[in-house]
Structure 1
Amino acid sequence: MKCQVIFLLLSAIVGCKASSVPCEVPCTKEMVPVCGTDGDNFVVFSNACLMNNQKCKDGKSWTKSDLRSCGLYDSRDEVKDDCQGGCPALVLPVCGYNGDNFKLFVNACMMENSHCAFPKEKAYTSVPLSMCQTSTGSIQSRSSDLPECPLACTEIYTPTCGYDGNEYKVFGNKCALQAYNCLRTESWQTVSLELCPKEAQL
């Protein structure tokens, strides 16, 4: 009889907790891309948890779809016979930028094959994944009106301190600061290196 009472009490407690918990849950930063559709739009989320949270936020019924529906280029089926193929079915997303557009690829190999498969498109260069990422945690291909950005900066480390009006950040060199501004449409200005704390290094 005691066991039954305890069980009922626990059930009541669990029931109370469940009703008070918001539908959004903490998500990991694990990068396991999921293509979601609400019936009208396709969006790539960093993982399924973030897609479910978006469903909670906007009340739309987001469901999983094929990754290619979201614009993730998969060269395994589309690459020309004379192009270097054989890309692994490995999901390690890479954000590419060709001076006009940001595009999300399943992995680096598929980004490299894209220019061969679609020679009319400018070749894509790998940029930080955050360039294809939105504030909601979704990652997607997107158009850009940005000018040509200096993506081929030298790796020579000549620390440059940047200030955006709110914080200081150290860039590897002046070119890296300019590329960062260009790709993110931000306005970091070069200031004295003494103003940058060591922990602000990029």
Structure 2
Amino acid sequence: MMFQTLTLCCLALVTGIAANTVSTNATDCPQFCAAIYRPVCATDGKNFKEFASDCNLKSDNCRRERNNVAAYAETDSAWCSSELVDNIHEKMGSFKLDREECFKPCSMIYQPICVTNGKYRAHLSNVCLLETFNCALQATGAQPTELLRVLRDSTC
């Protein structure tokens, strides 16, 4: 009788522990992800983070959602792979912005954009300045992948 009671108590304890470790969501959080490196850049609206794979992102988001923390959403990989700089012209090397073929009047209206070339990212005061930068880069023989592109229509 004592053995049966002890056995029932142990089963109740194990069942209680198992019940607390089972997912409360419709699907379980991935516990193990394949060791394949396919980086994914994501943001939670404030921070940017690079995950080793989609599986790692899904697993992290599952835990974050259970803790009522904002989930990460996949975004452009340049947010995670590029360095934020104050002066992108200085960082990209010596090329002349005041080339005759690139000269065009730009308005003085400040409408900041965040741009990147994959290596660096910075904000420029408006789209017209971006076009001037890209024209000057092309005139110096830059490849299309080295040109600046817009990451978002505001500051970085």
Give the TM-score taking structure 1 as reference length. Answer: 0.30
Identify, as 1 or 2, the structure richer in helix. Answer: 2
Relative contact order, higher structure (CA 8 A, sep 6+) = 2
